[in-house]
Amino acid sequence: MSERTLRARPLALVQDELVDYERAMERMSELVEARQRDDLPDTLWLLSHPQVFTVGKRTAAEHLPDPSYGIPVVPTGRGGQLTYHGPGQLVGYLIVKLRDGEGVVDYVREVENRLVEALEKLGLAAERRETPPGSELLTGVWTRETGRKIVSIGMRAGRGVTSHGFALNVDGDLEPWHYAVPCGMPEVDMTSLARELAEPPVLAHVRRVVAEAFEAAAPR
């Protein structure tokens, strides 16, 4: 799906800096309920979290980090497996009412493609991947040249409205990714814009480009 074939889906933009993960989940639930009542437009919430590992229902015990690292591990209701959040990462929660005949997997593909476009505007060639039969889901965005994963995506839908979203590694510490098994894939090499680009953009610029890719603007 190219930029020319992505259907228009303008979103309202909400922005915060560092927000505790569990507090963010409470707020996201409120936003989802408001969207289900049509009291809220489709919304993109951009923020970051303090260090935390979040785990999906299918995360194996052996994929969890050793408690000695001191980073909290929090169960979550999204799809996907273990992921890491921390400063220097841009998180986007998407509270979007699905169109008639559209499933959450369809929308995840749109999210991947919009993030591919954003990364290319930031100077990094990227791609989404199809999952081979029998393999762990390759949901997310990957760098074309180095084959590393730069965006994690985990979403769900309830009463026709999506929740959770994506995490784009900008310039944060990548070491915690080695403390556990991200995405259910022991071999995955997680990366960031700072690792891939000679002159990585600042987080504020990344926020603007990502918001533009999602046609997101602050309500007037």
64 in Cβ contact with 180 (< 8 Å): yes
Cα 133 off chain centre by: 24
Which of 179, 8, 172 minimizes the C-alpha distance to 91? 172
Beta-bridged to residue 18, according to DSSP, are 48
Q: Residue 72: helix, strand or coil by DSSP?
A: coil
Dist CA 127 CA 112 (whole Å): 8
Cα 111 to Cα 66, 137, 141, 215: the distances in Å are 32, 15, 10, 12
Scanning the chain, the segments in alpha helix (DSSP H) are: 21-36, 104-121, 193-196, 203-213
The C-alpha atoms of residue 129 and residue 127 are separated, in whole angstroms, by 6
Q: Is 143 a catalytic residue?
A: no
Which residue of the set 11, 25, 155, 183 is catalytic?
183
Rounded distance between C-alpha atoms, residue 53 and residue 163, angstroms? 18
Residues serving a catalytic function are: 183
